[in-house]
Amino acid sequence: MRTQVAIVGSGPSGLLLGRLLTAAGIDNVILERTSKEHVLGRVRAGVLEQGTVSLLDEAGAAGRLHREGLPHDGFSIAFSGRLHRIDLHGLTGGRRVTVYGQTEMAHDLMDLRNSDGATSVYEASDVEPHDFDTNAPFVTYSKDGITRRLDCDFIAGCDGSHGICPRSVPQKAVQHYERGYPFGWLGILVERPPVDHELIYVNHERGFALCSMRSHTRSRYYVQCPLDDRVEDWPDQRFWDEIRRRLPEAAAGHVTVGPSFEKSIAPLRSSVTEPMRFGRLFLVGDAAHIVPPTGAKGLNLAVSDVRYLFDALVEFYREGSEAGIDAYSAKALARVWKAERFSWWMTNTLHRFPETGPFGRRIQEAELDYLSRSEAASTAVAENYVGLPY
C-alpha cells in the first residue's frame, strides 16, 4: 500500500491531521494500535482554546461543538476562603474558551473520516517507522496476523507519549526535558449539575481541587491526592466530603452529590522532546510533549502542532517548498514551551507542595493575592488560558 502521509495514532492529533489532509486532497492513512471503541472510551479533558475551535471549523468538524459546546467567558480561582474570577472575555478583548469533551471531538472526527472514505487501520500491531532519514520512508505493521508495508512521503508520529515514533527517533539526536510532580489527580465523573456555570480551580492547604463539567447535567471533579493512593481508597462519600472541604463555603453549598460513574487517578508531569522533526518523520502532540492538566493545554497544543504541520505539508505538495517543513519543529516548540510554562505555573501556584513548607505556602498566597488585585497579572493568566497566538 502507498500513501502520501502515514499517520501513526488515531487520537485528536492523528484524526484532526487526517481530516485536514483529506480535505486538502492529500492522501493519508491512519494506523492505530487499539480499537475505535478504546479510543472513544478514553476520558479526557475538554477545554478548547479559540484557536482549536477555529481549526475544527476549518476542518468542517465543529458542527456539534457549536451546538453542544459550552462557551465560557471566565473561570474562578478559590483561595484563602474567597473566589477570584478571571474575566477571560473582558481581559482578552472578547476571547473565550469552549468546554467540549475530547471524546466528543474524536467522535466527530471519526465520523467525518468515515464519510470521507479515508483509510484507518485499527488494531494495527507492531507499527514501526522506517527510513525516515531518506525521501522514501515507510511504515510496517501487522494486521490479522499479516505483516504489511505502507510506503509514504512523510510519517506523522501522532502516537502519544508512549508511542513507537518518539521511541524510534535517534536518541543521540534528542534532548528530553522532564519535570515530575509529587502528587496525582483523583478525578470523577457524575451525572449531576456542575457547582457553577464556569470552572473553579482551588488552592487549599489540604490540596488542589477543580470543579469542571462536560455539560449542564454532567460534572467533572478533581482533587489532588498522594501519588500512591488507589481509587479504592476514595469511596464517593470521602470524595464529596473532601471536595467540599477544599471549596469556599458558598461554592461548597452548591455541590450536587451523586454516584460517580468514572473514577481514576492520574500522575502529573511536564515533558518536552526536542527537536520534533527527524527527516521525514514529525512528532505531533503528546508524542512530543506532555503538560500537567492544570492549564488545560494538552489537547490545544496537539492542535497547534497539527496546524503547523498541516500548513507545511500543503506548502510542500502545492508549491514544492520545504520551508514550512524545515521550520516546523522550531515553530511548534516556541508555542509548546510557553504552554509548558503556563501549565507549570498553574500547577505550582495551585497545588500543595509539602516540601516547600510554610514559606512556600505563603508565597502561593501572595501570588494569588497579587493576581486578584492586579489587572495586569489577571490579564497574563487570561491570555495564556484562552491560548497564545499561533
Task: For residue 30, count other CB atoms closer than 10 A to its CB.
Answer: 26
What cell numbers appear for 329 in the block?
Answer: 519543529
Residue closer to ligand PHB (CB basis): 329 or 384: 384
Which 207-236 residues touch ligand PHB, going by CB under 6 A? Answer: 212, 220
Q: Is 263 a catalytic residue?
A: no
Helix 50-58 / helix 12-23 crossing angle, nearest 10 deg: 40
Catalytic site residue from 100, 221, 222, 385: 385
Report which of 211, 228, 207, 230 is spatially closest to residue 220, judged by C-alpha positions.
211
By CB under 6 A, is residue 47 in contact with ligand PHB?
A: yes
Which alpha helices (DSSP H) does 149-297 contain, by range?
164-168, 236-246, 249-252
Using CB distances below 5 to 8 A depending on partner kind, what does residue 47 bind out of ligand APR, ligand PHB, none? ligand PHB
Residue number with CB closer to ligand APR (15 or 251): 15
C-alpha cell at 255: 455541590
CB-based contacts of 141, cutoff 8 Å, min separation 6: 31, 121, 124, 125, 126, 127, 128, 147, 148, 150
Check binding of 76 to ligand PHB (CB under 6 A): no
Interaction of residue 289 with ligand PHB, rule CB under 6 A: no
| Half-sphere exposure at residue 36, Cβ-oriented, CA atoms within 13 angstroms | 12
246 binds, among ligand PHB, ligand APR, none (CB under 5 to 8 A by kind): none
Q: How far is the CB of 369 from ligand PHB (least distance, A)?
A: 22
Three-state SS across 255-273? CCCCCEEEEEEEEEEEEEE
Whether 301 contacts 339, CB under 8 Å: yes
CB of 106 to ligand APR, least distance (A): 8
Residue 14 binds which one of ligand PHB, ligand APR, none, with CB within 5 to 8 A depending on kind?
Answer: ligand APR
Annotated active-site residue in 297, 317, 328, 351:
297
Known catalytic residue at 137? no
Closest-CA residue to 5 (of 24, 30, 36): 30
Instruction: Please report how many Cα atoms fall inside a 13 Å half-sphere around the Cα of residue 181, on the Cβ side.
Output: 29
Whether 389 is catalytic is: no
Q: Is 370 a catalytic residue?
A: no
Q: Which does 212 bind (CB under 5 to 8 A by kind): ligand APR, ligand PHB, none?
A: ligand PHB
CB under 5 to 8 A by kind: which of ligand PHB, ligand APR, none does 158 bind?
Answer: ligand APR
Q: Is 328 annotated in the active site?
A: no
For residue 317, what is the enclosing H or E element? helix 298-319
Determine which one of 166, 194, 292, 293 is catalytic.
Answer: 293
Query: Candidates 40-48, 59-67, 77-85, 301-309 — which segment interacts with ligand PHB by CB under 6 A?
Result: 40-48
Evaluate the CA torsion angle 329, 10, 38, 211 in order and state its sign: positive
11 binds, among ligand APR, ligand PHB, none (CB under 5 to 8 A by kind): ligand APR
Chosen residue from 294, 300, 347, 349 binding ligand PHB by CB under 6 A: 294
- Using the minimum distance from each CB to ligand PHB, give the nearer residue, 22 or 98: 98
Does 296 participate in binding ligand PHB (rule CB under 6 A)? yes
Angle subtended by helix axes 357-373 and 323-350, to nearest 10: 110
- Cell numbers representing residue 199 in the block: 470552572
What is the binding site for ligand PHB (CB under 6 A)?
45-47, 199, 212, 220, 293-294, 296
Q: Which residues are part of the catalytic machinery? A: 72, 201, 293, 297, 385
